[in-house]
Amino acid sequence: MEFLDTSDLTDGTIRLALDRVCEADPVRGWVPAYHFRICDLDGNAMGKCDLRVGYTKGLYYGGHIGYAVDPPYRGHHYAARACRLLFGLARRHGMEYLYIGCDPDNLPSRRTLEGLGGELIEIAPLPPDNDMRKDGMTHTCVFRFVL
């Protein structure tokens, strides 16, 4: 897969600054990924997000997009803004749908995904070998987004 130019990922309020890209790792079942800092227009980092490009069984649980907004910046819909920008990047890669997951107890994240128009497919038990279990999670909300 060819990584695309991401210098245009802004919505006038935030900008996604490319931190790094990661090539696929077929042995681990990982697809190529972009990793960004969520920044204000002055370049101040407010959080991070990533987009995983491709489809694997593991991405049903782990999701194509991950995000985290630093505590002082929460409540301003920066995660939703970042996701919308990443939806466009995913479309440029020919992706037709994405999964995004969150901890069932993380109500702000669930509201973000609902507000973005995601369809809650299920609250799925994580497979025993899933990496997210290392963080103590046992289930994930699986949201599907048609691009």
What residue segments make up the domains of the chain, in order of their start? 14-146
Cα separation, 64 vs 24, whole angstroms: 14
Please tell me the predicted confidence (pLDDT) of residue 95. Answer: 98
Please tell me the predicted confidence (pLDDT) of residue 130. Answer: 87
Bridge partners of residue 50, in order along the sequence:
35, 66
Q: Are 88 and 5 in contact (CB under 8 A)?
A: no
Superfamily assignment of 14-146 in CATH?
Gcn5-related N-acetyltransferase (GNAT) (3.40.630.30)
Please tell me the predicted confidence (pLDDT) of residue 135. Answer: 84
Please tell me the predicted confidence (pLDDT) of residue 5. Answer: 98
Bridge partners of residue 140, in order along the sequence:
124
Instruction: Give the pair of three-digit tokens for residue 47.
Output: 């959080």
Sheet-wide strand order for 97-102: 97-102, 139-146, 119-125
* Most distant pair of Cα atoms in the chain: their distance: 43
Please tell me the predicted confidence (pLDDT) of residue 131. Answer: 85
Question: In which residue ranges of the chain is pLDDT below 50?
Answer: none
Q: Are 10 and 16 in contact (CB under 8 A)?
A: yes
